[in-house]
Amino acid sequence: MAERRAVPTMKDVAREAGVSLGTVSKVVNGIPVGREYKERVEAAIQKLEYRINSYAKGLKSSQTYTVAVMVPNLISPFFARLVDAINRELSARQYRMLFYATDYDPEQEQELVMLAEQQKVDGIIVLSYNPNLKVSEDVSLVSIDRYFGAQIPCVSSDNYGGGRLAAEKLVENGCKHLAFLRIGSKLTNEPNKRKDGFISACEAMDVPYTLKIVDDYTPYAAFEGFLHEHYRDGKLDFDGIFCVTDSLAHQIVVTLQTMGVRTPEDVQIIGFDGVRHFGDLELTCSTIVQPVEEMAAACVDMVLERRTTKMASLVCLPVSYAYGGTTKA
Amino acid sequence: MAERRAVPTMKDVAREAGVSLGTVSKVVNGIPVGREYKERVEAAIQKLEYRINSYAKGLKSSQTYTVAVMVPNLISPFFARLVDAINRELSARQYRMLFYATDYDPEQEQELVMLAEQQKVDGIIVLSYNPNLKVSEDVSLVSIDRYFGAQIPCVSSDNYGGGRLAAEKLVENGCKHLAFLRIGSKLTNEPNKRKDGFISACEAMDVPYTLKIVDDYTPYAAFEGFLHEHYRDGKLDFDGIFCVTDSLAHQIVVTLQTMGVRTPEDVQIIGFDGVRHFGDLELTCSTIVQPVEEMAAACVDMVLERRTTKMASLVCLPVSYAYGGTTKA
């Protein structure tokens, strides 16, 4: 059964410490006071379990200890993991997180960025689908996966390296003809580089490849059509497929099953992201794992340091390959 | 390429409208001013795309338009969906969400509730694992899935009804001997009622059942042992299993596969939650679906209305059955 109790106020702390309210306020705001006073206030804060109202404190010091985080939604397991990791990084630094879902809506994103700016957050971390996002000069903003130009720092996986790694792993596992499947935004963004890395590795290894690239609005049936077109005499034209996400890889495995094509015996499949069943069980497929914790730490470091001019405009963090049952190793 | 631009301030609005700063402040804070002044200020706000700083406004009106939301993590797809839905409800009402992950840590939960109280949020929505959570009388708090007593409103699925429904569906699909498997907190919480509802339906239908209930700290191997114990002459002792979550159902299906037991041919399995692959693809198993959107709306309604004394202390929202491949229908 929960107890109800009163929240201690700054006044209670002053009474307990036997000092004025002004003294408590100074200690709380880091303004120097006599050592004995400071100790008395700190002891009272501890005894009463008083928590500093950083909300009010924020306005005074023009720091709010608050960072706004914006991603399209929390339904996608990759976004959810990313926000979870960013939240842990912020908490460890005593910062609060305001969370906004943007629903892939460019206008909504612009609106939310402006709102956050005016609410004086200390920074904004955004995974944006708005290529024309306007950002105030006053605000510290870090972008995930979309490079806006040198003035806005961007954190991303090494998508190019991941594309290369996927092609290399498939060939290492014996594949002779590869395919790359992609559904996604037409906007230039970092994940586009997965394809470029894949092609570059295929060409370096002199391995033939086939591409099927469609935009967000294309129904999944386009991939079913593609697979059927490339299915002749009970055999697929390719024996290795790299899918742009684990989610697409999962759907392709299910479609191939209905066609009687076995994974990984007949065709090996590699996804991208590193999504696990129910967040913490086995991997959903063999995959290129994004370093989510490292990306979160980089975003938080960069957004709080505000070293916009000094720092790299694009930070690409290393990915890794993980076996998840849809390849031979 | 993103443009950098200055954020308009209240001063800019005053200049544009040709009024004093005080007049702008009054309009923004809903204090009556002459009609012409009001219209000029509103036109300037619109023209400059000025966003009201509800952060500063909050302190003045003692409302912050902010609700703190606390769940263990965003890794679990059910928690992530719930927070996503609560976020949508809050946004629709022009409220902001402060998000906190508690990591199932009772001390952390208490700490965060106290912090949120002192930061003057308008309310707290918490999915708590702290049975002794202390809450200030001043704060509007709604609990999800844990009933603390009449003074703290609680929102939950109809877990009891869900347990009954699972047993009934298994029997409807031809099962003759059922099992219920649960891993979870020993603390009394709403999900416990899934078992009670299941047993009540089995007894009403006069169907034999077997229970395997372990606490959070028990390794999954306990369920593997249980399944092997009940596997004789190439057959399981039961032909229908209700698992306390979809995550457990998924693991059981995988274990049975390795034992050569087929789902749903040899044994039918129903989970609980309604989790979809990658958040928006097919269901992970046949399941009792929690009404996440309705739960989110109820939490937000209740936390903002603060009708603590007038309102129901426990709101149980209706669940439904959905076929997801691990049953015959």
pLDDT tens across A194-207, in order? 999 999 999 999 99
What are the helix (H) ranges across A35-75?
35-48, 54-61
Between CA A248 and CA A257, with CA A252 as vertex, the angle to 5 degrees is 150
In contact, A292 and A82? CB cutoff 8 Å: yes
The span from the CA of A70 to the CA of B201, in Å, is: 45
In this complex, the residue of B77, B137, B275 whose CB is nearest that of residue A6 is B137
Q: Which residues of B55-73 are buried (b: 16+ CB within 10 A; e: fewer)?
A: bbbbbeeeebbbbbbbbbb
User: Are B148 and B168 in a shared domain?
Assistant: no
* A184 has a pLDDT exceeding 90: no
Nearest C-alpha in A relative to B134: A3
Q: Would you list the DSSP string of B183-206? A: EE-SS--GGGHHHHHHHHHHHHHT
- What is the pLDDT confidence band of residue B28, given thresholds at 50, 70 and 90? confident
Check CB contact under 8 Å for A114 and B51: yes
Between CA B184 and CA B194, with CA B188 as vertex, the angle to 5 degrees is 65
Residue B39: in which H helix or E strand, if any?
Answer: helix B35-48
> What is the percent of chain B with per-residue pLDDT over 90, rounded to a whole number?
64
The CA dihedral of A71, B295, A90, A149, to the nearest 10 degrees, is: 10
- What is the pLDDT confidence band of residue B2, given thresholds at 50, 70 and 90? very low
Does the CB of A61 have a partner CB in chain B at under 8 Å? no
- How long, in residues, is chain B? 329
In this complex, the residue of A4, A97, A151 whose CB is nearest that of residue B99 is A97
The answer as to whether B60 is a domain residue is: no
The answer as to whether B48 is a domain residue is: yes
Diameter over CA atoms, chain B? 90
The token duo for B215 is 């606490």
The span from the CA of A274 to the CA of A146, in Å, is: 20
- Give the pLDDT mean for B124-148: 91
Q: Which residues of B181-193 are buried (b: 16+ CB within 10 A; e: fewer)?
A: bbbbeeeebbbbb
The answer as to whether B151 is a domain residue is: yes
User: Are B119 and B209 in a shared domain?
Assistant: no
Q: CATH number of the domain that A46 lies in?
A: 1.10.260.40
B 120-139 residues with CB below 8 A of A? 120, 132-139
In contact, A44 and A21? CB cutoff 8 Å: no
Q: Which tops the pLDDT comparison, B16 or B230?
A: B230
Q: Which chain B residues contact residue A250 at CB under 8 A?
A: 277-278, 281
User: Are B166 and B280 in a shared domain?
Assistant: yes
* A53 has a pLDDT exceeding 70: no
User: Are A43 and A79 in a shared domain?
Assistant: no
The span from the CA of B163 to the CA of B194, in Å, is: 4
Who contacts B226 (Cβ-Cβ below 8 Å, separation ≥6)?
B181, B212
The span from the CA of A39 to the CA of A247, in Å, is: 56
Tell me what pLDDT residue A58 has.
42
In order of A193, A247, A311, A328, the CA distances from A274 in angstroms are: 17, 10, 28, 17
User: Are B185 and B274 in a shared domain?
Assistant: yes
The closest of A315, A322, A323 to A125, measured between CA atoms, is A315
User: Are B191 and B274 in a shared domain?
Assistant: yes
The answer as to whether A61 is a domain residue is: no
The token duo for B192 is 């416990």
Tell me what pLDDT residue A1 has.
39
User: Are A181 and A260 in a shared domain?
Assistant: yes
The answer as to whether B37 is a domain residue is: yes
Q: CATH number of the domain that B280 lies in?
A: 3.40.50.2300
B33: containing domain: 10-52
Amino acid letter for position A107: E
Q: Which chain A residues contact residue B138 at CB under 8 A?
A: 6-7
The span from the CA of A62 to the CA of A95, in Å, is: 14
User: Are B147 and B246 in a shared domain?
Assistant: no
Choose the weakest-confidence range: A281-290, A309-318, B125-134: A309-318
Q: What is the mean pLDDT of chain B?
A: 89
Q: A253 vs chain B: nearest CA distance in angstroms? A: 13
- What is the pLDDT confidence band of residue A47, given thresholds at 50, 70 and 90? confident
Amino acid letter for position A247: S
Does the CB of A234 have a partner CB in chain B at under 8 Å? no
User: Are B126 and B195 in a shared domain?
Assistant: no
Does the CB of B90 have a partner CB in chain A at under 8 Å? no
In order of A14, A84, B197, the CA distances from B88 in angstroms are: 41, 18, 32
ipTM, 2 dp? 0.80
The span from the CA of B245 to the CA of B285, in Å, is: 10
User: Are A234 and A246 in a shared domain?
Assistant: yes
Backbone φ, ψ for residue B40 (5° rounding): -65, -45
User: Are B208 and B310 in a shared domain?
Assistant: no
* B30 has a pLDDT exceeding 80: no
* A187 has a pLDDT exceeding 80: no
**Number of domains composing chain A:** 3
User: Are A313 and A286 in a shared domain?
Assistant: no
Does the CB of B54 have a partner CB in chain A at under 8 Å? yes
Q: Which residues of B144-180 are buried (b: 16+ CB within 10 A; e: fewer)?
A: bbbbbeeebbbbbbbbbbbbbbbbbbbbebebebbbb
Check CB contact under 8 Å for B246 and A278: yes
The closest of A208, A244, A251 to A227, measured between CA atoms, is A251
In order of A3, A76, B184, B185, B243, the CA distances from B191 in angstroms are: 23, 25, 9, 9, 12
Does the CB of A92 have a partner CB in chain B at under 8 Å? no
Q: Which residues of A213-232 are buried (b: 16+ CB within 10 A; e: fewer)?
A: ebeeeeeeeebbebbeeeee
The answer as to whether A218 is a domain residue is: yes
Does the CB of A87 have a partner CB in chain B at under 8 Å? yes
Q: pTM of the entire structure?
A: 0.83
